[in-house]
Amino acid sequence: MKFNRRTFLKLGAAGAASLGLEKALTGSSDAMELIMGGAEVSRTTGKHLKPVPSTCLNCYARCGNYGFNAYGTLIKIGPNPEHPNSRGRMCAKGQAALNLLYDPDRILYPMKRVGPRGEGKWERISWEEAYSSIAEKMKGILEGGNPEEFVFQSDRDITTADFIERFVHAFGSPNAFVHHPLGGANKQTAQRLTWGEDYEIPDVANTEYMLIFGSNPFEAHYLRTSFVQRMTEARSLRYVGSDLLRAKAKMVTFDVRLTQTSGRSDEWHPIVPGTDGVVALAMCHVIMEEGLEDRSFLRKWTNYSPEKLKKHLKQYTPKVAEEISGVQASEIARIAKEFAVSKPATTISTGGATKHHNGVYTERCIALLNIITGNIDNRGGYCLPKSFTFREPAPVPPVPRRKSKLSSSATYPLAGTELHHRVLPLIKEGRQTVKLYMTYQHNPVYAHPEGKMIAQILKDEDLIPFYVCIDSFMTESAALSDLILPSATFVERLELETPPAFEMVPFVSLRQPMVPPLGESVQISNILIELAHRIGGKMSSYFDFTTEEYLRQRIAHIRPLTKSGGLSFLKKNGVFYDQSMKPQYDTYKKKGFNTPSGKIEIYSSRMEAQGFHPLPIYDPIPTHQSIKSGEFYMIIHQWMVHTHDRTANCMWLSEIIHENPVYINAKTAAKYNLENHDRVKVISKVGEIETHVQIVEGIHPQVLAIGDSCGHWEFGRIAQAKAFKSNDPNTRLLWWEKKESGFFAEEVRGKGNGVHPKPIIPIISDPIGGGQCWMDTKVRIKKV
């Protein structure tokens, strides 16, 4: 696409959408003749390469992208300027999807194990043999009359969750663990209980104030690139009427670490982990004491009176909050007043605040700040998500009558989602006999807490007699399977997406193959369709379509899209939205909130019925109350260039981040006589790891922080930092190649691979949401 001044003006970000801005930026109205986005020229022929519009999935933001291939090889992935969320931006991870596609250690053929489980001996087999053996096992389970002995787990690939659930339900099993929370189970539970949605969309591009609790969108967020560009806009040039103004949306961050986000904020307040809730409540207290609340909103749209709420908040003075959180009372009061008078304003919160034992309460406390100031679903405020709903094609298999014994609902009846990390431990407890365990792009051994225990469960052939792993790579979990089916990567698949829209106009985007699947790899939906037909009977009637027909039926009810050409339009353009639709704000005014009362439930009768406090409260974290001298709170964090367990095999990304020291505050390091690069053991109650020290100023003195995504012992040689010869000459040039011993003494070579922190994190859940408490691990540190 030719991207000149005109298209720039048309498509450009709100803050850049004018010639005046162009002048301001360049000093000339004629200087901006750019060609960017959607175009690539062959180096050999000089001709333009045909772009294939698609949708990234190297994280959950699902940005619009283009693939360019030459002579059947994908040579570049670039951004799609027409995509309404990502608007022509993408991150390094999106571009590095090429590394996933062409990883020399990728699994390209069906394989079955030939030695003892986990020994690493495999034999290539045909698809025919793979399909027959699985179908035979599944038919045997049906003949036994216990379809729930088939258990399926997949990762956060929300795109395929509905399809997999369809397959598992059609088989008659309730054990489909496929819907993974976007923002974490605790956040999702709190959001559902409070206003009936799974998450919020802070309308940051149009806000005046961003109050951030335990969130780091500049490095890691489930809507990252789309989110960050709007946060940046809110703090840069903006047109108001005909006047170019310097927008100065204020950004205040509470975090235990000086992250890329807190470092870019106007203010960073280090906070004791797990105490964000009490700070939010103290702010609510100040706002109500000062009479700065939006009383008419509270009366009309919430189920709790302002008078009662004010009384409830009396206990949470800034002084009380200071004693608990370490944040100065005067600062809490000042920020509260600023937030209340800045219109519009919004909070931003994710795992740093909510992946704790008190995560649900904390998220409800933070949401309350938006509620009492009336910043709900307004321009620049805390908005309801806007997206389309896809429909399952008829006939839809019924939800099996037998309840899952592995479901979280018995232990966590309020949980907004199934809790993946508890499924295998429940199998170990004997809750459910399993005959066939199947996973899709799911690596519980690496991704779940207490990974050693998870590995033992997968190795145990009494607990898991047959494990079918559908994946593109030999992950730590795939290595413990019996049969591996090679799945297509996301740049080879055909799928639909409808992420929440930042422009508040719902849209649909398409993921389509940029190249045909390599080797004999197959898209998951095609694998399941084939299996359904081989199992036969009623099951095959639920899969009487091709993947393309299935997708066509999923969007058939979206009239504006079908009128524009439906799937054909998406194949050509990658994305669709109704251009005549205005941004959707105040939507609750027509239909209320999706809660039992139709209002925002500050008072949750559902929580009360389960024995929890019905109001937003601060609930101290039990393990934190007994912390002794010499003990620390260990938190884990994401890297800007990695997505959890999925990207360490991307060479371009691992070149940037391939080791993970433990970050420690400078004063704490001095107290314990530690220096940079000292080797230390980090010890929790379930294990210990060894890494080296990195001393920093920007971290709470009681906190140790370790990044994830490193320390793989499977997942191919690049993830393990092993240099090797292959068709790609770069694989010999891994300058960060791991050395077996003494590698930290060397200056440059041999620093790669790092350590995996999750095995020393115990399985602990928030008692309300059931979400894993990733940030609550109590540890000691020992110099080695």
Stretch that binds ligand SF4, among 90-98, 360-368, 382-390, 561-569 (CB under 6 A): 90-98
Q: Are strands 176-177 and 150-154 parallel, antiparallel or unpaired?
A: parallel
Nearest Cα neighbor of 122 from 437, 441, 479 is 479
User: How far does Cα 47 stand from its chain's mean position?
Assistant: 38
195/592 Cα distance (integer angstroms): 10
- Tell me the three state secondary structure of residue 66: strand
The footprint of ligand SF4 on residues 327-356 (CB under 6 A) is none
Q: Which residue is nearest to ligand SF4 (CB)?
A: 94
758/764 Cα distance (integer angstroms): 12
- Identity of the residue, 101 or 366, whose beta carbon is nearer to ligand SF4 in the bound complex: 101
Preceding peptide of 344 cis, ω within 30° = yes
Shortest Å distance, C-beta 63 to ligand SF4? 3
Stretch that binds ligand SF4, among 52-60, 385-393, 502-510, 584-592 (CB under 6 A): 52-60
* Residue 56 binding ligand SF4, by CB under 6 A: yes
* Residue 225 binding ligand SF4, by CB under 6 A: yes
- Identity of the residue, 201 or 423, whose beta carbon is nearer to ligand SF4 in the bound complex: 201
The residue assigned the tokens 């095959």 is 540
Shortest Å distance, C-beta 182 to ligand SF4? 13
20/701 Cα distance (integer angstroms): 47
| Per-residue CA distances from 171 to 148, 174, 175, 530, 531 (Å) | 9, 9, 10, 13, 11
* Residue 91 binding ligand SF4, by CB under 6 A: yes
Binding-site member from 40, 78, 87, 93 for ligand SF4 (CB under 6 A): 93
Binding-site member from 62, 257, 738, 751 for ligand SF4 (CB under 6 A): 62
Binding-site member from 12, 88, 94, 172 for ligand SF4 (CB under 6 A): 94
* Greatest extent of the chain over all pairs of C-alpha atoms, in Å: 77
The residue assigned the tokens 């399926």 is 152
Shortest Å distance, C-beta 499 to ligand SF4? 9
Shortest Å distance, C-beta 225 to ligand SF4? 4
Q: Are strands 507-511 and 495-497 parallel, antiparallel or unpaired?
A: antiparallel
Q: How many CA atoms lie within 13 A of 394 on its CB side?
A: 2
- Identity of the residue, 66 or 618, whose beta carbon is nearer to ligand SF4 in the bound complex: 66
Shortest Å distance, C-beta 61 to ligand SF4? 4
The residue assigned the tokens 């389970």 is 141
Shortest Å distance, C-beta 305 to ligand SF4? 42
User: How far does Cα 628 stand from its chain's mean position?
Assistant: 33
317/307 Cα distance (integer angstroms): 17
Q: Are strands 483-486 and 201-202 parallel, antiparallel or unpaired?
A: unpaired
Stretch that binds ligand SF4, among 58-66, 236-244, 354-362, 426-434 (CB under 6 A): 58-66
Q: Which residues contact 82 (CB under 8 A, 6 or more apart)?
A: 1, 11, 38, 53, 64, 573, 574, 575
Shortest Å distance, C-beta 477 to ligand SF4? 22
Range list of β-strands (E), 612-672: 631-637, 662-665
Shortest Å distance, C-beta 99 to ligand SF4? 12
Shortest Å distance, C-beta 196 to ligand SF4? 27
* Residue 422 binding ligand SF4, by CB under 6 A: no
- Identity of the residue, 58 or 660, whose beta carbon is nearer to ligand SF4 in the bound complex: 58
- Identity of the residue, 55 or 694, whose beta carbon is nearer to ligand SF4 in the bound complex: 55
* Residue 224 binding ligand SF4, by CB under 6 A: yes
- Identity of the residue, 61 or 251, whose beta carbon is nearer to ligand SF4 in the bound complex: 61
Shortest Å distance, C-beta 317 to ligand SF4? 41
Q: The dihedral of CA 508, 514, 515, 518: what is its sign?
A: negative
The footprint of ligand SF4 on residues 517-546 (CB under 6 A) is none
Contact yes or no for 180/155 (Cβ under 8 A): yes
Shortest Å distance, C-beta 729 to ligand SF4? 26
Shortest Å distance, C-beta 62 to ligand SF4? 5
Contact yes or no for 564/580 (Cβ under 8 A): no
The footprint of ligand SF4 on residues 282-311 (CB under 6 A) is none
Tokens coding 605: 């009768």
- Identity of the residue, 498 or 623, whose beta carbon is nearer to ligand SF4 in the bound complex: 498
Binding-site member from 21, 63, 321, 367 for ligand SF4 (CB under 6 A): 63
Stretch that binds ligand SF4, among 60-68, 427-435, 582-590, 761-769 (CB under 6 A): 60-68
- Identity of the residue, 166 or 224, whose beta carbon is nearer to ligand SF4 in the bound complex: 224
Contact yes or no for 325/189 (Cβ under 8 A): no
How is residue 85 annotated by DSSP?
T
Binding-site member from 90, 602, 695, 704 for ligand SF4 (CB under 6 A): 90
Stretch that binds ligand SF4, among 53-61, 233-241, 427-435, 561-569 (CB under 6 A): 53-61
The secondary structure of 323-390 as a DSSP string is HHH---HHHHHHHHHHHHHSSSEEEEE-HHHHSSTTHHHHHHHHHHHHHHTT-BSSTTSEE-------
Contact yes or no for 667/654 (Cβ under 8 A): no
* Residue 59 binding ligand SF4, by CB under 6 A: yes
Stretch that binds ligand SF4, among 17-25, 86-94, 186-194, 246-254 (CB under 6 A): 86-94
AA letter at 276? D
- Identity of the residue, 53 or 196, whose beta carbon is nearer to ligand SF4 in the bound complex: 53
User: How far does Cα 321 stand from its chain's mean position?
Assistant: 30
Q: Is 20 left (phi over 0), alpha (psi -120 to 50) or beta?
A: alpha
* Residue 61 binding ligand SF4, by CB under 6 A: yes
* Residue 58 binding ligand SF4, by CB under 6 A: yes
Stretch that binds ligand SF4, among 89-97, 248-256, 583-591, 630-638 (CB under 6 A): 89-97
Shortest Å distance, C-beta 58 to ligand SF4? 4
Contact yes or no for 430/740 (Cβ under 8 A): no
- Identity of the residue, 258 or 653, whose beta carbon is nearer to ligand SF4 in the bound complex: 653
Shortest Å distance, C-beta 472 to ligand SF4? 16
* Residue 156 binding ligand SF4, by CB under 6 A: no
- Identity of the residue, 161 or 228, whose beta carbon is nearer to ligand SF4 in the bound complex: 228
129/564 Cα distance (integer angstroms): 43
Q: How many CA atoms lie within 13 A of 231 on its CB side?
A: 29
- Identity of the residue, 274 or 351, whose beta carbon is nearer to ligand SF4 in the bound complex: 351
* Residue 312 binding ligand SF4, by CB under 6 A: no
Shortest Å distance, C-beta 90 to ligand SF4? 4
Shortest Å distance, C-beta 641 to ligand SF4? 9
Provide φ and ψ at 18, rounded to 5°.
Answer: -165, 155
Contact yes or no for 117/534 (Cβ under 8 A): no
User: How far does Cα 160 stand from its chain's mean position?
Assistant: 15
Contact yes or no for 698/637 (Cβ under 8 A): no
Shortest Å distance, C-beta 699 to ligand SF4? 25
Q: How many CA atoms lie within 13 A of 635 on its CB side?
A: 26
147/707 Cα distance (integer angstroms): 40
The residue assigned the tokens 């020399």 is 104
- Identity of the residue, 87 or 624, whose beta carbon is nearer to ligand SF4 in the bound complex: 87
* Residue 74 binding ligand SF4, by CB under 6 A: no
The footprint of ligand SF4 on residues 392-411 (CB under 6 A) is none
- Chain positions contacting ligand SF4, by CB under 6 A: 56, 58-59, 61-63, 86, 90-91, 93-94, 224-225
